[in-house]
A = this chain, B = another copy of it.
Amino acid sequence: MKKIINAVDRVENDMIKGMCKAYPQYVTELPIDNDLCQDHVVVRTEKKVGKVALISGGGSGHEPAHGGYVGKGMLDAAVAGAVYTSPTPEPIYEAIKEIATDKGVLMIVKNYTGDVMNFEMAGEMAEMEGIKVAQVVTNDDVAVDGSLYTVGRRGVAGTIFVHKCAGAMAETGAELEEVKAVAEKVIDNVRTMGVAINPSMVPAAGEPGFVLAEDEMEVGIGIHGEPGVATAKLTEADAIVDQLLDKILADIDYAGSEVAVMINGSGGTPLMELFIVNNRVADVLAEKGIKVYKTYVGNYMTSLEQEGFSISLLKLDDQLKECLDAEADTPAFKE
């Protein structure tokens, strides 16, 4: 295992500290009783007042998710567990209390059994303190219905669109129910599928999540280094794109609609290859009469050093376009 780290049991701590030191104008670490776990919480340095607050999180290893999206127009807190491991309820609860406003708190949770359970428990604890809490669960991955970690579809890179759109709605001063409704509209209209050509390695495990031959790729990967739905021969980029798009486009009717496109890198993928992927995505969508409103290419929701990518399509209406175009000022996403 070859990594630029100090020790396998320090990666989460060193990462969060390094993030907060890089962006003190955006994020501050919330001290929590951390003796028993590797969970960490970052909150907005300038606390939101009088508007719905947003919280998300999950395991570490998905950087810049989710701490990188804490800031104006997106999240108010991000909770990070150990690598690829759900944070426990206690730090989530502490984070909710820290960011809560009279308008309430929306929890944006990716559909993984541990995440959903722990966020729910934290939300209930907060509600007992009189905090208004609502929750949405993202499940954009069309590759698989049920997996190693999940009942139902997994929440993957499309979650970033939920942060962006719900965050924009919250900034307008909307009520919790309205912010939740926008989040659910995004969830209803976003689909993602991914592929990897090289796996990632959890530092504490020291073993890759799957093994591929030099001419193989893993199709339908999640974001936790787990195997996908099938191992296949590595083909040319355009053919990989076609395969993923076929599955995405078959899932909901995008015909004649406008979409936002996200080409998300898995962490170890050169940007050159993501642009090569987008070249084909743009061509296929144009052929099918699907209009691209905006494209995002980069490392948005990663899996450590995994090499691969996912394609997300978000079907837009005027409200979602407005939400995408609204100001966002966070370390990893500016608009």
Q: Would B4 and A309 count as touching, CB distance under 8 A?
A: yes
Given that A18-B278, A18-B282, A22-B278 are contacting pairs, would A4 and B267 also be in contact in the complex, using a CB cutoff of 8 Å? no
Is A275 located at the chain interface by the 8 A CB criterion? Answer: yes
Q: Would A11 and B198 count as touching, CB distance under 8 A?
A: no
Q: Would A17 and B267 count as touching, CB distance under 8 A?
A: no
- Which one of B16, B237, B275 contacts A22 once the chains associate, using CB atoms below 8 Å? B275
- Which one of B11, B64, B292 contacts A276 once the chains associate, using CB atoms below 8 Å? B11
Task: State which of A48-56, A111-119, A246-254, A299-307 sits at the interface with chain B.
Answer: A299-307
Q: How far is the CA of A206 from the CA of B23 in the complex (A)?
A: 39
A25 to chain B, nearest CB (A): 8
- Which one of B11, B261, B270 contacts A304 once the chains associate, using CB atoms below 8 Å? B270
- Which one of B234, B307, B335 contacts A305 once the chains associate, using CB atoms below 8 Å? B307
Which A residues from 265 to 301 make CB contacts under 8 A with B?
267-280, 282-283, 292, 295-297, 299
Residues of B within 8 A of A73 (CB): none
- Which one of B2, B237, B297, B331 contacts A5 once the chains associate, using CB atoms below 8 Å? B237
Which A residues from 1 to 40 make CB contacts under 8 A with B?
2-7, 11, 14-19, 21-23
Residues of B within 8 A of A68 (CB): 271
Residues of B within 8 A of A188 (CB): none
Q: Would A63 and B21 count as touching, CB distance under 8 A?
A: no
Is A136 located at the chain interface by the 8 A CB criterion? Answer: no
Between A3, A261, A274, A334, the greatest number of chain B beta carbons within 10 A of the residue's beta carbon is seen for: A3
Is A197 located at the chain interface by the 8 A CB criterion? Answer: yes
Residues of B within 8 A of A292 (CB): 21
A193 to chain B, nearest CB (A): 14
Is A123 located at the chain interface by the 8 A CB criterion? Answer: no
Q: Would B234 and A197 count as touching, CB distance under 8 A?
A: no
Residues of B within 8 A of A6 (CB): 236-238, 276
Residues of B within 8 A of A331 (CB): 297
Q: Whose C-beta in chain B lies nearest to the C-beta of A279?
A: B18
List residues of A whose CB falls within 8 A of some B CB.
2-7, 11, 14-19, 21-23, 60-61, 63-64, 68, 197-198, 200, 214, 234, 236-238, 240, 261, 263, 267-280, 282-283, 292, 295-297, 299, 302, 304-305, 307-309, 331, 334-335
- What are 9 pairs between A and B in contact, CB < 8 Å? A2-B307, A4-B273, A18-B279, A18-B280, A18-B282, A19-B278, A68-B271, A268-B270, A269-B305
Contacts A61-B272, A268-B268 supplied; 17 other A-B pairs, CB < 8 Å:
A4-B269, A5-B236, A5-B273, A11-B272, A14-B237, A15-B272, A18-B274, A18-B277, A18-B279, A21-B295, A22-B295, A60-B272, A63-B271, A267-B270, A268-B307, A272-B304, A305-B307
Please name the 9 residue pairs, one residue from A and one from B, whose CB atoms are nearest each other, closest first: A18-B279, A18-B275, A21-B282, A63-B271, A18-B278, A22-B295, A334-B334, A4-B273, A14-B276
